[in-house]
Structure 1
Amino acid sequence: MSEIHQVERTIGGRPLKIEVGRVARQAGGSAWVQYGETVVFAAAVADPESNLERDFLPLTVDYREKSYAAGKIPGGFFKREGRPTEKETLSCRIIDRSIRPLFDKNIRFEMQVSAHVLSSDKLNESDTLALIATATALNISDIPFPEPVAAVRVGMIGEEMILNPTFPEADNCRMNLVVAGTATEIVMVEGEAREVSEAEVLEALKFAMTAIQEIVAMQAELVEKCGKAKRPIEVVETPADIEEKTRALTIAKMDEALKVTGKDARREAINLLKEEVKQKLLEEFPEGERDISCVFHAIEKERLRSMIIKDRRRVDGRGLDEVRPITCEIGVLPRTHGSALFTRGETQALVVTSLGTSSDEQKIEDFGGEHWKTFMLHYNFPSFSVGEVRPIRGPGRREIGHGALAEKSLLAVIPSNETFPYTIRIVSDIMESNGSSSMASVCGGSLSLMDAGVPIQSSVSGIAMGLIKEGDDIAILTDILGMEDHLGDMDFKVAGTKKGITGIQMDIKLGGLDFGILSEALDKARAGRTHILGIMDKAMSGARSDLSPFAPRINVLEVNPEKIRDIIGPGGRTIKRITEETGATIDIDDSGKVKIACTDAEGGARAIEMVRSLTEDPEVGRIYNGRVRSIMNFGAFVEILPGRDGLVHISELDHKRVNKVEDVLKIGDMVLVKCIGVDDEGKVRLSRKQALEPTNAG
């Protein structure tokens, strides 16, 4: 039986324990991490054989939250966990983006890491713990993972930085970042904020690094105690003669091909050059197609990076800090509630806003508890946007991640549900793409919200920054192309208003970045965002004063909770009658808040009147238009509110003497009456004569 090893330290005021050797001993490496009473387990395994025909890193990452961790049984017929939830997908991406850049790119054996949440105390978030467990499992295994890596959350309440905020604390944070790093450098950042400054973001990253270094040291201690020897990496060397001849035929022409303007034309020029080189060399090296392609791709990467580093010139002719041409079109779809077409170079997003009622809210159940989303953004990336043929399936991890980032970036300016009682859904359909489509979704989303009449606090723009680093030479790129993202070292997305940052995401391929580069990238991103905001504000600088005529109008009434049953009626008949007669939808919560929504103003007004009449009490001095329900010899009973009658005494029927009630009223008549009193038992006294115009008595 293997020996159990454990390390423990206090992180953020709570004990963090990492244990190995107790479970999953047949895996290449496994770890059990506990923080508070939240427990996450991770295991890492690898195929013993390498497939040298692969030209990518064969890594699979999985993250699952067990229902039993929160003492629950899954819903649905089968009572089993099913497809990954959106939360699980986003957590999986955090792990993947943090570890993938650190692997040796020559690895060609299949690897799989799995992280499972086994217990949740409903206070501590599990995604950062999953990364810690995953990194520990990799580090103690024989898989050649180079060094420990860890992640923490940083919250900011007021001016105070908080390490690993609990779920309740996170709700009050001005900034909430997930930061992953090694002992010396940051490798991944993801988060949202409420218009914070670049200086505050940097402060949060430095604050995170202190804790990350402690957790990394815990992993290193375990590696020293029980780490396995790393297996060798098989590297396929390209024959020297193939490399030499491929370079001789390619370099000069590659420089020319990279200067071709336009994504499609440039890619066609590069592909033609590749075919030309292959045709010439395959005669001499008939088995060398794969080697020729590898060298060709390496040259493409080298020459693009050299052009940027040495010539300070980019493939589309822009300077390093230059943003592509932008056009903004508002209200492009006539029957939607709000729409915008945002185009930046060869990236284009059609973004549409729809307004709904509380019945359209999305129910979310996670370890933080049950809550309802009133704002959501969905991002779609169809294959035609890049001229490719692919099966049409549901959203993948990338689409879910991009949508979540754009949603976070806009959330800071969305009005509260008390101020604007609508459910808001934004859909961003990418019509064409050449880099930074998620940030185009932010810009288009901001414009479509204003077109829909949503009173957002300010416009939001987003930009993707890139990096080329060769030794001590660096070039930070503003508004990167897809090619610059693919062949560069960083994809750093920053969104925000003129006031500050609202969303941030950083992925790197270097193995880490220092704070100097991060600071410069943030400053350049601010300049780029400000430039884009200027163009957006020229197209539309504020929300429309009126909603679309096709959007529902929502009115909110506050009623006595005891009156809710009167609105609903026996078996729901009353509320059903109101909705059928007016076309309105009515949502009622237990506190007595009634939301009435209707696309027809007249129908909405009628529904409001009907609800008010069901819930209000008779008001002394007010005149009502009532219906005669019954007649007695001493007077008539008149219904002035639904289910509420009052007595009009015979002496109150007219200014002149009335001998018989039937001489003035009949059952079913509509009659104006004035409420002249309500006794302690709730009996209502009415007067017809006081509701009449004054008469001249003889």
Structure 2
Amino acid sequence: MIAKTYTTMLGGRELSIETGKLAKLVSGSVTLRYGDTLLLVTAQAREDRSTLDFLPLTVEFEERHYAVGKIPGSFHRREGRPGEKAILSARITDRQIRPLFPKGYRQETQVIITVLSADQQNAPDVLGPIGASAALSISDIPWGGPTACVRVGQIDGEYVINPTADQLTRSSMDLVVAGTRDAVMMVEAGAQTVSEEALVGAIEFAHREMQGVISLIETMRAEVGQEKFNFVADGDLSVDLVPELAEKARTGGLRDALLTVKKKDRSSRTKALRDGIIAEYVPDAADEGAAERITALKNAFNKVEKQELRRLILEDDLRADGRNSKTVRPIWIEVRPLPQAHGSAIFTRGETQVLGITTLGTERDELLVDDLTAETGDKFLLHYNFPPYSTGEVKRMGGQSRREVGHGNLAKRAIRAVLPSFEEFPYVIRVVGEVLESNGSSSMATVCAGTLSLMDAGVPLRAPVAGVAMGLVMEGENYRILTDILGLEDALGDMDFKVCGTAEGVTALQMDIKVGGITPAIMREALAQAREARLHILGKMAEVLPAPRAELSPTAPRIVSLKINPELIGKVIGPGGKQIRELEAMGAQITVEEDGSVRIFSADGSAAEAVRVRIEGLTRAAKLGEEYEGTVVKTAPFGAFVNLFPGQDGMLHISQMSEERVSAVEDVLNVGDKLRVKIVNIDDRGKIDLIRPELEGKIAPREPRPARAGGDRGPRPARRE
């Protein structure tokens, strides 16, 4: 195939997609360029059908450090496991393309996005989904696209498509939207407390602006797209069984079983009902073909269960645990359950429970960033842990999963918006959300528990933040929005919509839509209902801890900050770092910035204060006319050298020691003597002349020492060439 390039304008800049030039052995391959950011995106599927009972799709986002002219910082100096940014970028693409594969498609499919060049202004994370859409559209892989993805910022009240990295620093929102020609499919946002109406407006704006990209990919598909291969989906034996099983389940008490409040009890009752019905159809599980028959019956029962739950919600406004659509589950909160943590809180909502823990550290604890962004460190960390016991399961435990990274990032964006600046609160902050029980909305419970633990630690948040997960059940024109969804409702529903914010507005949002036709009106209604729930949750939090504690937690380390003359930094560091090592040996960590900012960090407040006094002494500047209680440190025939404060001596001339003539300095002063002195002159070399203040006006002042040309030893001869 001859290479072809397709272009369109997006956000005032050219977007070009080329195919037929690179990676031609793969089913679908494109290179995508936007500014000087260049991506290679490939899509490939196996010929053989997988035996798995779900879609085996993997999306990989490969960051190459050569893309920004860097050598990786790892020990082996090569790229290793994907970092957090790469994982989040892969999830954006996955969430956009996964729903559009046909039902029953089970071929193992892989999309690989490789960043070949990154200009650090045009972010590759929203370009990867466009490349994936193009690669899948022109490939032979069955897929229902195309889709497109854009980022929206808001600067000075105006929406901006794909703001550059510089523009994003001035934006009140960072909103990523993906969609098809007709519908929005995915939204993810972080914001500086913006209104719900502003978010809906941004989503509508994004969907309009992405239409040109969708048209471009449709043109590519029409001109160079391959014929889609046929795949065989297993016949669904359960479909014909649904009507019959539905009647048996309803007469057998399915409604009462589904309305059981507790998750385990509900699961036990529905399982007992299902197994009883299956036993009627398959009395002997050992018979030939019994296994297939049992699987079909189980699938049919699951469909019946889903249908009945959706019917209860739409017709009776009744949910699996007996609530109506707008009710938040019961909440209880405990603050400071961990005696040694800097801040801690337990937040429980229904059968979802998260332990939030805050730890405060120094700049040395910041996360070093080694990806393709211009950032070098992150001073706010939020880690979300989802152990198998939280759902009553047994699973292998390994590293952090992509799901944990994604949920943690959502909670992090929600809370970051209300944190004080590093200048206001010079700590590196780590929040951990330990999910202890999970029955839906554990990421939102992490936002609440994390906020409470920060307030417990004494971190001066600008406002408390809470989060709630919303759902949707929709049949034609009939729909119902659900507040604070259960895990079961997430699975059976048509939308997963997580909203976080303060009483004033939204700070983070994540939306995944499983059906087409979600109108802006439904979005507005969902956001309004989420706001009611958020205010309710914030009220419950305020009953326990209405504001950040006025003082830092007694277990939290103290940071003392001061500013010194940048020219005196060397005095604090000392030759070869000798002085700063001596200071840190007093029980503190010390950081010194080029502008003279000094931070002293210690678990012992008195040690931090002692180090502060020492540093102030080392960097103290002598001033003309000031008096000091000094100590004689050396004598000479012409006078005595008096230490005024650490690192600073002055000279008391023999003529300034007494009203009477002094023959020898030792007749009046000796090393170790303490006396009060006053500065009467500081010459151009910083040399200090002293007098005993009680003699001022009684004896003739000493003539100031003349300045010397060429330094202390007089003018130097010209250098010999």
Taking structure 2 as the reference length, the TM-score comes to: 0.92
Q: Which residue of 1 aligns with 2:218?
A: 220
* 1:598 aligned onto 2:602: yes
SS of 2:394 mapped into structure 1: coil
Return the match for 1:183 from 161, 181, 188. 181
Q: Does structure 2 retain, via aligned residues, the 8 Å contact 1:101–1:511?
A: no
Letter in 1 for 2:24: R
Residue-by-residue CA offset, 1:591-621 (whole Å, 9 max, x unaligned): 2211112232221221111111222221233
Which residues in structure 2 correspond to 1:678-693 (within 5 Å)? 678-690=682-694
CA distance in structure 1 between the partners assigned to 2:474 and 2:695 by the alignment: 86
Q: CA deviation at 1:540?
A: 1.4
* 1:523 aligned onto 2:509: no
Cα separation, partners in 2 of 1:103 and 1:241, compared to 1, 3 Å: closer
Q: Which residue of 1 aligns with 2:505?
A: 500
User: Which range is displaced more, 239-248 or 436-445?
Assistant: 239-248
Q: CA deviation at 1:684?
A: 0.8
Q: CA deviation at 1:630?
A: 0.8
Q: Percent identity?
A: 44
Q: Which residue of 2 aligns with 1:127?
A: 125
Q: Which residue of 1 aligns with 2:22?
A: 23
CA distance in structure 1 between the partners assigned to 2:128 and 2:455 by the alignment: 39
* 1:363 aligned onto 2:362: no
Q: Does structure 2 retain, via aligned residues, the 8 Å contact 1:674–1:691?
A: no
Q: Which residue of 2 aligns with 1:339?
A: 344
* 1:639 aligned onto 2:652: no
Q: CA deviation at 1:190?
A: 0.6
Which residues in structure 2 correspond to 1:543-622 (within 5 Å)? 543-581=548-586, 583-622=587-626
Q: Which residue of 2 aligns with 1:281?
A: 281
Letter in 1 for 2:671: I
User: Which range is displaced more, 590-599 or 667-676?
Assistant: 667-676
Q: Which residue of 2 aligns with 1:254?
A: 254
Aligned-residue CA RMSD in angstroms? Answer: 2.0
Q: CA deviation at 1:140?
A: 1.1
CA distance in structure 2 between the partners assigned to 1:238 and 1:605 by the alignment: 74
Q: Does structure 2 retain, via aligned residues, the 8 Å contact 1:625–1:670?
A: yes
Q: Does structure 2 retain, via aligned residues, the 8 Å contact 1:655–1:689?
A: no
Letter in 2 for 1:457: R
SS of 1:638 mapped into structure 2: strand
- For structure 1, the residue ranges without an aligned partner over 5 or more in a row are none
CA distance in structure 2 between the partners assigned to 1:576 and 1:335 by the alignment: 28
SS of 1:288 mapped into structure 2: helix
Tell me the matched-pair count.
Answer: 690
Q: Which residue of 1 aligns with 2:381?
A: 376
Letter in 1 for 2:25: Q
SS of 1:94 mapped into structure 2: helix
Which residues in structure 2 correspond to 1:352-501 (within 5 Å)? 352-501=357-506
CA distance in structure 2 between the partners assigned to 1:503 and 1:655 by the alignment: 77
Q: Does structure 1 retain, via aligned residues, the 8 Å contact 2:563–2:597?
A: yes
Q: Does structure 2 retain, via aligned residues, the 8 Å contact 1:154–1:208?
A: yes
User: Which range is displaced more, 469-478 or 643-652?
Assistant: 643-652
Letter in 2 for 1:185: A
Q: Does structure 1 retain, via aligned residues, the 8 Å contact 2:182–2:516?
A: no
Q: Does structure 2 retain, via aligned residues, the 8 Å contact 1:182–1:512?
A: no
SS of 1:465 mapped into structure 2: strand
Q: CA deviation at 1:305?
A: 1.0
Q: Which residue of 2 aligns with 1:192?
A: 190
Q: Which residue of 2 aligns with 1:271?
A: 271
Q: CA deviation at 1:463?
A: 0.6
SS of 2:210 mapped into structure 1: helix
User: Which range is displaced more, 242-251 or 76-85?
Assistant: 242-251
CA distance in structure 1 between the partners assigned to 2:659 and 2:502 by the alignment: 69
- For structure 2, the residue ranges without an aligned partner over 5 or more in a row are 699-721
CA distance in structure 1 between the partners assigned to 2:694 and 2:512 by the alignment: 78
Which residues in structure 2 correspond to 1:55-134 (within 5 Å)? 55-134=53-132
CA distance in structure 1 between the partners assigned to 2:577 and 2:674 by the alignment: 27
Q: CA deviation at 1:182?
A: 0.5
CA distance in structure 1 between the partners assigned to 2:371 and 2:568 by the alignment: 34
CA distance in structure 1 between the partners assigned to 2:668 and 2:55 by the alignment: 93
Q: Does structure 2 retain, via aligned residues, the 8 Å contact 1:181–1:512?
A: no
Residue-by-residue CA offset, 1:357-399 (whole Å, 9 max, x unaligned): 1111222243331332121211111111111112221211011
Residue-by-residue CA offset, 1:221-252 (whole Å, 9 max, x unaligned): 00110112222342323447655654444344
Residue-by-residue CA offset, 1:237-281 (whole Å, 9 max, x unaligned): 344765565444434433232011201111111222233233332
CA distance in structure 1 between the partners assigned to 2:241 and 2:182 by the alignment: 39
Q: CA deviation at 1:677?
A: 2.7
SS of 1:527 mapped into structure 2: helix
Q: CA deviation at 1:688?
A: 4.2
Letter in 2 for 1:548: S
SS of 1:218 mapped into structure 2: helix
Q: CA deviation at 1:639?
A: 2.1
User: Which range is displaced more, 560-569 or 646-655?
Assistant: 646-655
Letter in 2 for 1:265: D
CA distance in structure 2 between the partners assigned to 1:542 and 1:489 by the alignment: 37
CA distance in structure 2 between the partners assigned to 1:49 and 1:189 by the alignment: 34
Cα separation, partners in 2 of 1:691 and 1:237, compared to 1, 3 Å: farther
User: Which range is displaced more, 368-377 or 353-362?
Assistant: 368-377
Residue-by-residue CA offset, 1:39-64 (whole Å, 9 max, x unaligned): 1111111111223x432111111111
User: Which range is displaced more, 121-130 or 326-335?
Assistant: 326-335
Q: CA deviation at 1:188?
A: 0.4
CA distance in structure 2 between the partners assigned to 1:398 and 1:690 by the alignment: 77
Letter in 2 for 1:477: L
Q: Which residue of 2 aligns with 1:10?
A: 9
Q: Does structure 2 retain, via aligned residues, the 8 Å contact 1:409–1:503?
A: yes
SS of 1:428 mapped into structure 2: strand
Q: Does structure 2 retain, via aligned residues, the 8 Å contact 1:673–1:691?
A: no
* 1:146 aligned onto 2:144: yes
User: Which range is displaced more, 435-444 or 366-375?
Assistant: 366-375
CA distance in structure 2 between the partners assigned to 1:318 and 1:248 by the alignment: 25
Residue-by-residue CA offset, 1:19-46 (whole Å, 9 max, x unaligned): 2222222212111111111111111111
Residue-by-residue CA offset, 1:567-601 (whole Å, 9 max, x unaligned): 100111100111112x1211011222111122322
* 1:40 aligned onto 2:63: no
Q: Which residue of 2 aligns with 1:677?
A: 681
Letter in 1 for 2:615: V
Cα separation, partners in 2 of 1:690 and 1:529, compared to 1, 3 Å: farther
Cα separation, partners in 2 of 1:334 and 1:688, compared to 1, 3 Å: farther
CA distance in structure 1 between the partners assigned to 2:675 and 2:580 by the alignment: 26
Cα separation, partners in 2 of 1:689 and 1:94, compared to 1, 3 Å: same
CA distance in structure 2 between the partners assigned to 1:666 and 1:335 by the alignment: 53
Q: Which residue of 2 aligns with 1:329?
A: 334
SS of 1:295 mapped into structure 2: helix
Return the match for 2:163 from 148, 165, 169. 165
Q: Does structure 2 retain, via aligned residues, the 8 Å contact 1:102–1:511?
A: no
Q: CA deviation at 1:194?
A: 0.6
Cα separation, partners in 2 of 1:655 and 1:396, compared to 1, 3 Å: farther
CA distance in structure 2 between the partners assigned to 1:16 and 1:635 by the alignment: 79
CA distance in structure 2 between the partners assigned to 1:57 and 1:394 by the alignment: 23
Cα separation, partners in 2 of 1:264 and 1:419, compared to 1, 3 Å: same
SS of 2:358 mapped into structure 1: strand
Q: Which residue of 1 aligns with 2:710?
A: none
Q: Does structure 2 retain, via aligned residues, the 8 Å contact 1:426–1:445?
A: yes
Letter in 1 for 2:225: G
Return the match for 1:231 from 223, 229, 232. 229
